[in-house]
Chains A and B, each alone.
Chain A
Amino acid sequence: MVDDIEATVKDVILKEFLPGEDPSELTDTTPLITGGVLDSIATLKLVMFIEERYGVTLQAHEVDPEHLDTIAQIAQLIRSKKT
């Protein structure tokens, strides 16, 4: 289950925002927001996906590099919301 979140988030990022990209290039620590992969539109799309997929609610102030910059941070946020 723990690994599922990372893998699922990675899958959706690759599919939605990085089609054709080598999956090995995207790691758990790749900077997504500060790196320019997730712009505001992509970030909101990802937030909608997370909320729908995991049944959690994110707050506006959590949509920032502090919480969503890497797959690891995203997974950590989801887990903290689910517990």
Chain B
Amino acid sequence: MSTVLSGTPSDVRSGTKTASARIGARDYVLILLQLGLLALLLRQFQIESAAFLRLALLAFGGFAVHALLPLRYRLPFFLALSLAGIVVVLDPVNGLSIIAMGIVLIGICHLPVSFRARGLLLIAVGALLVALRAKWLAGPVPDVIWPILGSMFMFRIIVYFYDLRHDTVTPVSPVRTLAYFFMLPNACFPLFPVVDYQAFRRNYYDDDAYRTYQTGVDWMLRGVVHLILYRAVYYHLTLAPSEVTGPGQLLQFLVANFLLYLRVSGLFHMIVGMLYLFGFRLPETHNRYLLASSFTDFWRRINIYWKDFMQRIFYYPTVFRLRKLGTTKAMVLATLLVFTLTWFLHAYQWFWLRGTLLFSPQDVLFWTILGCLVVVNALYELKHGRERSLRNTPQTWRSLGVVTLKTFATFWAICVLWSFWTADSVEQWLSLWSALKGQYTWSVLLYPAVVLAVIVIGSLERNPLRNVKPSKVDQHEWRRARLVTAVSLVVLVGVSIEAVHQRFGGEVATTIHSLRSGHLSRLDMAKLERGYYENLLSVDRFNSQLWEVYSKRPANWLDVQGANLKRFTGGFAQNELIPSFVSTTPYGTISTNRWGMRDKDYERTPPPNTFRIAVLGASTVMGWGVGDGETFESIVEERLNRDKPNQAYAGYEMLNFGVPGHQPPQELVTLDYALSFKPNAIYYVATTREISRADSYLIEIVQKKVPVPYAPLRDIVDRAGLEPSMDEATAMKRLRPFGAEILSWIYRHMVEDARSHGVIPVFVFLPALPEELWQDETVEILKIAGAAGFPVIDLSGVYKGQETAALSLAEWDHHPNRRGHQLIAARLEDALRQMRPSVLGADVQASSN
């Protein structure tokens, strides 16, 4: 094979460019083959988003051309590809807007005035952008572009301006500058590493091209592995604070909560690995942070780009300025300043990404505590030094023991701190620790044992020199790394194929299948669902997948024009639909009749010879997201009247009593109201997690000090020891043991109440979307409903074979859309026909309403 590429040494200033930037044909094909497998992996595991896959394909395709170009054309090509990526991910108008605004900001940095004047102008323009982002000023900037624009400029402009100020030697290259700010993968990632401009410039093609590209592939693969591990943790190990009832669960909670950071490290590896494909040999972003053996070590290993940014821009200048106080004092003060600024800059980052200010006591305390721990640790290191090594040498038993103990202690301390940082409130975090009073069994040792094993294995060799040029890596080690990458790619692609992982059998296959799809975990889905009706989402961390989904939701999502759809009523149910209300939403007209039903008008008493059904339920029954006449209830009613399955009745009426956000206890109040319309049957449409929902509502009622009118429920509240001042997690733990009892009583009460009025009670189980995520309580709910005496219509599987995205309103709102309602209607109608006597009245029973 001949050499296929040519190029000249880079024109950049570093003077260290020794590489020819050429790649042999065989190596070129090898890289392309691996990129093909990586693309397959991204697709099979649905890594991140569809937009990211498009961007990755653009990058991989771009690499194929880029690597063949003469060196002088590569940077302009990378810039063109990066700009195209922005337009591909966003739409052309938004993409071009970001580029135009960015060019203005960069242009200010280069105005022919003093640095001071440029700095002041940047601050002034920044203030204008703040006013626009916060919506203090009305402007033509769409919300969607802020997170991306922010991620490109909020920190990089500081780094760039700093370098411009101090580097008076390197000539400015407009192409490199634009490539730095608009670099390719950024359009997909609001959370982006703070790439150092010096490193971006200095390390460009400073080593063997093939080995640089190959290292990029290795890093991207490592990123994918991190992201898959993240999913395993996110889907299968995370617990809600209310689920932490024993010491074993507490340890699981702490570990899982910290390991969610794998998403950030995975994304950063993907991003930097992709940049390697274009010759940017950047330093590592993370260095085995789970193996940190002290707080300073942790700070140096996790998010290294951030640490470097803070060090260059704030730490060293502060130390130098304060040196007259003595170096030790200067270092302590500079370190404390760095942590204070880290807290502030997180809030600053939050502002650009979300448009709101972030201020929580946990945030302040977390950075204060971590800052103090790092200072103490740094003082110790200043006095005693720390162990370093240039080689990958094996440990002695003693050193392995010492480092293992230190790492083990650091890991758990960080887990505890992290849990505090990510808690919804200090009270919630404090309530976690009551779990230590729970039962101690051997299972408590599971997580400590796994953590210890990982630490021992990871510490067998001393941490060698980092960021060594790939060409300096020993040939034997390089070949071993190639083998690892090739085998990992093939194995991961292999197991991602359904026909392959199905062979592993039930549980393994199900787990692998779950890891292949990117969606919210059951906990985040519950939060998202709660957020449909309440503005209480705890989407307050940058690595929160929930936040990313929620941030796409338009501010006026399904706003009902002119007024609220519901009104406060007081009493146990608290709210109801406003009667005689008509308004429009993006999904059609929403109107309520004079009785406050989302339905056409009905008389209080049914017409003669009519089978009247009162349908009770929450938002899906009401038809959140579909227009009038498009709810499954309307469709079924129309079909029943068309086909008349029971000739004993001349007509059918289905009255929609659905109210968005209503939980099982509230349905008791709705039932009383529905019975006043003299129905022949009531269909209670239950969705998933009825037990948890009933618990949550009782807690809400107690917290709001609303009287509970049902003696059995009052008794349970008393027995559980619920208090209005109790935080939600603690209250949930107290009430959970009574969950089944609460729902049983509610269902039995519904059945008895209906029957006492001569009404047929029917239980309709309607799964929520996506169905596979919501099955934890389903079996028990159906059992309780059956035991309560309901005839049960189970609509499980109603969405089978359909993509969730095709049936739900949006990524951030999984209510069924029009198509979803049609499917539900078809399944319900079939079930009604099959169960006709018990749910639509006996053939002989003509109504005499």
Contact = CB atoms under 8 A, between A and B. Distances in A.
Given A31-B468, A36-B466, A41 B382 contact: yes
Contact of A31 (B327, B382, B389, B465): B465
What secondary structure prevails in chain B residues at the interface with A? helix
Interface residues of A, number: 25
A53 interface: no
Interface string B365-395: 0000000000000100110011011110000
Interface in A1-41: 16-18, 21-22, 25-26, 30-31, 34-37, 39-41
A41 B331 contact: yes
B517 interface: no
B300 A31 contact: no
A82 interface: no
A26 B389 CA distance: 10
A48 to B, nearest CB: 6
Contacts of B300: 36, 39
Interface in B247-290: 283, 287
Interface stretch (B310-318, B435-443, B755-763): B310-318
B312 A18 contact: no
B465 A30 contact: yes
B468 A41 contact: no
A34 B321 CA distance: 24
Interface in A34-61: 34-37, 39-41, 44, 48, 59-61
B390 A66 contact: no
Contacts, number: 77
A30 to B, nearest CB: 7
Contact of B162 (A21, A36, A61): A61
Contact of A18 (B162, B320, B390): B390
A21 B463 CA distance: 14
Contacts of B382: 41
Contacts of B389: 18, 21
A30 B465 CA distance: 9
B288 to A, nearest CB: 11
B166 interface: yes
Contact of B198 (A18, A48, A64): A64
Nearest to B310: A40
Contacts of A25: 390-391
A7 to B, nearest CB: 18
A34 B307 CA distance: 12
B395 to A, nearest CB: 14
Nearest to B390: A25
Given A40-B311, A63-B316, A18 B381 contact: no
A48 B315 contact: no
A26 B316 contact: no
Given A34-B467, A37-B465, A60-B319, A21 B390 contact: yes
Contacts of B381: 41
A25 B472 CA distance: 13
Interface in B418-467: 463, 465-467
B202 to A, nearest CB: 6
A21 B388 CA distance: 9
Contacts of A66: 198, 202
A40 B467 contact: no
Contacts of A63: 312, 316, 320
Contacts of B199: 65
A31 B198 contact: no
A52 B327 CA distance: 13
Contacts of B466: 31, 34-36
Contact of A65 (B198, B378, B468): B198
Interface string B182-221: 0000000000000000110010000000000000000000
B283 A34 contact: yes
A35 B320 contact: no
B331 A31 contact: no
Given A25-B391, A35-B467, A60 B385 contact: no
A64 B390 contact: no
Interface string B292-321: 000010001000000000011001110111
Given A21-B389, A37-B388, A60 B378 contact: no
Contacts of B311: 40
Interface in A51-83: 59-61, 63-66
B332 to A, nearest CB: 11
A39 B463 CA distance: 14
Interface in B134-174: 162, 165-166
A16 B381 CA distance: 12
Contacts of B468: 31, 35
A37 B331 CA distance: 19
A41 B296 CA distance: 10
B390 A30 contact: yes
Nearest to B287: A36
B388 A17 contact: yes
Contacts of A30: 390, 465
B316 A60 contact: yes
Contact of A60 (B296, B320, B388): B320
A35 to B, nearest CB: 4
A16 B466 CA distance: 19
Nearest to B320: A60
B378 A18 contact: no
A41 B378 contact: yes
A3 to B, nearest CB: 21
A16 B386 CA distance: 10
Contacts of A64: 198, 312, 316
A66 B315 CA distance: 17
A31 B388 contact: no
Contacts of A61: 162, 165-166, 312, 316-317
Nearest to A51: B323
B623 to A, nearest CB: 60
A18 B331 contact: no
Contacts of B202: 65-66
A34 B466 CA distance: 7
A81 B463 CA distance: 34
A64 B287 CA distance: 19
Contact of B388 (A22, A36, A48): A36
Nearest to A67: B198
Contacts of A18: 388-390
8 contacts: A25-B391, A34-B467, A36-B465, A63-B316, A63-B320, A64-B198, A64-B316, A65-B202
Interface of B: 162, 165-166, 198-199, 202, 283, 287, 296, 300, 311-312, 315-317, 319-321, 327, 331, 378, 381-382, 385-386, 388-391, 463, 465-468
Given A21-B389, A44-B331, 13 more contacts: A16-B385, A21-B388, A21-B390, A22-B391, A30-B390, A35-B390, A39-B386, A40-B315, A41-B331, A41-B382, A44-B319, A44-B327, A66-B198
Q: Which 6 A-B pairs have the closest CB atoms?
A: A61-B166, A60-B320, A60-B317, A35-B465, A36-B466, A34-B467
